[in-house]
Amino acid sequence: MTSGSLSSNAVDLRECSSNLFALADINALKWCQYTGAPCSLDRPLDDPVLTSFANALENNVLCSWRHSPPHTTPRLNQGLTCSERAKELWLFWYGDDPRTIDIVDSNLKETDHGSWESNFPNEAKVLLFKALHNTLERHLLSREYVRVGKWFVNLDKKSACTETDKLFFSFAFCLQGESKICMTVDVKQLPGVRHIVPDDLAKAAAQGDFKGKLKNKSVSQNSCGYMRVLVYHL
């Protein structure tokens, strides 16, 4: 977590570093869970959970969603695969209740609610951390960052035609003590990541085997064992 070196006056704080940061206190945090019926995979824009999730993001409400575990809604999920199961929407907030601004679809049913002081099960903590990650990801993507697996990397327009080493960031959350939410930041320098540009597609198409050439150009293994990924924004 931390590193430092001894000076003549014991430890010099200017030479110490940490990747653990305190984000917020969980006291007074409230949450609410909604459940919707299974929705066709062919029409995701009609899914009330996903549309409500998008509305919550637009209104800067901490939120996340998941497929309902089989044991929580056995009748709804009977005979369905994981991707077809009913979904849940979870909202988290301090202060003013976001349910008063009409962001939740009327087809969703409120199935549970609580607060840190009275009812905060472990699954609520997991979904809270996911909601924090959603907020962080949305902010980074608006600032020219791209997500590659669990990593975020800045691929601005100036770097579109370069493959120099770049700094990748990943984030994790934990509960420190009784009520302090903390975030850890993992930073790695990984090689050669850039956008795929139209010239790459044109060259691959000109060489005949478009899919094969594109695959070979998009992902290659280097001597360090890392994958070289080229990301293209349509």
Beta strands in 124-212 (DSSP E): 145-148, 151-154, 166-176, 180-190, 194-195
CA dihedral 153, 156, 157, 160 (to 10 degrees): -20
With left for phi above 0 and alpha for psi between -120 and 50, is residue 93 left, alpha or beta?
Answer: beta
pLDDT at 204 (0 to 100) = 74
CB proximity list for 122: less than 8 A, separation 6 or greater = none
pLDDT value of residue 110: 93
- Give the pLDDT of residue 15: 53
Which range is least confidently modeled, 48-52, 73-77, 123-127?
73-77
pLDDT tens for 149-206 read: 888 988 766 554 455 678 888 999 988 888 889 999 998 887 767 777 788 778 777 7
Q: What is the mean pLDDT of residues 105-121?
A: 90
Terminal-to-terminal C-alpha distance of the chain: 39
Q: What is the pLDDT of residue 120?
A: 87
pLDDT score, position 209 = 55
Tens digits of per-residue pLDDT, 9-29?
Answer: 455 545 555 678 888 888 889
- pTM, two decimal places: 0.71
Distance CA 40, CA 45 (A): 10
Among candidate residues 62, 63, 23, 28, the one with its CA nearest the CA of residue 180: 23
Q: What are phi and psi of 122, to 5 degrees?
A: -60, -35
pLDDT at 83 over 70: no
Element (H, E) at 177: none
**pLDDT at res. 6:** 44
Can you tell me the mean pLDDT for 130-139?
92
Where residue 3 falls among pLDDT bands split at 50, 70, 90? very low
Indicate if the pLDDT at residue 50 is higher than 80: yes
In this predicted structure, what is the pLDDT of residue 65? 94
More confident residue, 225 or 197: 197
